[in-house]
A and B are shown apart, each in its own frame.
Chain A
Amino acid sequence: MGSRIVVKLTIWIALLSLLSAGISVYFTYTHSRALLIQSSKDKLATATQVLANRYSFFIADITKDLLFIAQLPDIEEIASRNSPQTEKQRTHLANALSGFLRSHEEYNQVRFIDAHNHGLELVRVDKAQNSVHIVEGMALQEKAHYSYVYNTLQLKQGSVFVSGIRLNKERGLLDGYGKPSVIVATPVYGANGNVFGAIVINVDLEKMFALIETDIPAGIDVIATNSAGDYILHPDQEKTFGFDKGARILIQNDIALTQHIFSGELSSLVAEVQDFRFPDKQAVISLTKVPFATESDEKYIVLGLISNLDTVLEDSRQLGITSLQISLAFGVLFVLLSLILARKITTPLQRMATTFARFKQGDPVPELSINRNDELGLLARNFSIMAKKLNAQLMELNTQRQYLHKVAHHDGLTGLPNRILLEDRIEQALISARRDKAEIAVMLVDLDDFKPVNDKYGHDIGDKLLQECAARMLTCIRETDTVARYGGDEFMIIVSARELQLRGMSARHISRQVADKIRNALNQPFKIDNFLLNISCSIGIAIYPQDGDDKNTLIKHADLAMYYAKSTGRNNVKLYTDIQID
């Protein structure tokens, strides 16, 4: 976890995942809210259309009733009043109309009005406290000055007139004074083609809307206005029929958008508005024009529904919270995953780094994750290749160095250490001898009569003779001793023979034995290229420490001893100490 990459990677992935979660929550929330509001708008628009259709059906039903009454058989005779039967016929008609009033909860008056006699009511049935009364005699009134009479009498047979929706101000109607009502009427024509009366139905608007509004859910209110925008139906009853009470209360003032309906630009609208029932809330309102197919005081009314958005907004809020929770959970999961991912990436890297750090020259190439197919595998493979190349070059370098070392320290002809290496060996031997308080012997071997061999048989034979001499000398010494070529026909031998000294033998004694062995070996005839050659050698020995305690002294004394041996008859061995004694 100490790795900086792990921390950085985790932080970045976590931030990215949180950011994407946040964005997705935001869009989910706004989009779902818009969708929910749209769906509630659509629902409300459909419900409003249903409401409008019901209203139209109601007016259509009233029309059917009017037309049915208009063609009842006794009607014309009642109007003519010239038959003794008239009274009886009036009673029949009144009873029939009573039936209509009883069966239609929303009707509160049905009348047959004379086209003449100032619009005198010929038959009139009123509803009072839900019981039906037949109005007769002096209580019948003249109605020609009302718009539903003078307008209806101008209509063609079969058409109907719909009044504007007003508060009823006609005294005499038993149960309807001051109530919102709409009046629907049709003219009645006689056989002669002249209009002789009108059938008029007065509809109690509250009851009619109570029927229309059935199964409208709670929280949704019905709104209706006339063609000028005056409320005729509003959740707050105080706001209705303002025009009949002196103060116009218009929907355009509550919801400015609605003016497009009254100006004729729109026939319906659905909008998100401030809920005028609860000013701090939002609502959706749907309004639609309901035109009258028939003659009327007004060309249309506007019906609508208003529904607050509480449930919708609560749904979308809940959705927002849920998606936020889900996103947070995923965010945490992403952080964990990013941790794992970061470790998965950095662990091989770390391992590789450790391996690189430990890798030394010439080590076998470490087998890293070479089999991986990804970038890490590539890195490992390339590293492997590089390490192998490095190793190969190092090996070559070593070989060359060893060769150069050998060339510099050995004699090319005999393969024995040369003078440089010899002197170094003497120094090394002196160092150990001083430390171990031991003795060493430095022995100089000079071949006798070598020059004549060279002169007689040539250099080739001479060289071969030197090689053979070197080979014989090597057989005479131990591995720990050194034989070196010191000059043309001179060889130097270092004898330490430490293990023998430890057994109590002196260097003098040991070196004497080695020297005799060499003298004997070289005295044996040499057979070189079919030539049989006989040589001898003179050997001088200097012993450390008694004959000198440094290299040069020892070499000089060994040389002196060798000359002494030569001068005393060749094929001889002399110790430096022998010279002093002699």
Chain B
Amino acid sequence: MARPVAYNVNVKKLENDISMVDMPEGYMGEGFFATSMNKVVGLARKNSIWPLPFATSCCGIEFMATMGSHYDLARFGAERVGFSPRQCDLLMVIGTIAKKMGPVVKQVYLQMAEPRWVIAIGACASSGGIFDTYSVLQGIDQVVPVDVYVPGCPPRPEAILDGFIKIQELVGKESLRRRNGDQYKALMESYAIQ
């Protein structure tokens, strides 16, 4: 008897053994290639993000699956999960953050070096989720600025990967001057971060 749901029925042909990122736009001639610094730096940054997982609960289990061999976040250049904020680029807050934990999240964020990005994974990290209660922080954007929110309770690994790809797009397109701009400074000041 046929199973009601069949997987991988449409076999996708392998296009390349190794996928490479496309070259940025630029002028090329014999022995030289000229492009803008923005694009090169963005390309390098987005394909070697070092995530710092701040996993507190059930979404963290989904993140473990995302890091595992089946979904494999390493394919996106994020092989090196660091547990030291000083070396990491991306703070991944995964799970319920209690109000008592809020200052800890902020402390970890402050210890990260610029440029830094934050992704809130799961309903609780994004908005407090089902825990509309006196003890739970109603979204981590009350203590740190967030770049990408991943909905879901918990989100599937595919959703986490999708959020990560969104972060990569932000990282790749970010202008080198952004972190010195007035808008960014105003954002930091609204969180009382110097």
Please indicate whether A and B come from the same complex rather than being unrelated chains: no
Using a CB–CB cutoff of 8 Å, the interface residues on chain B facing chain A are: none
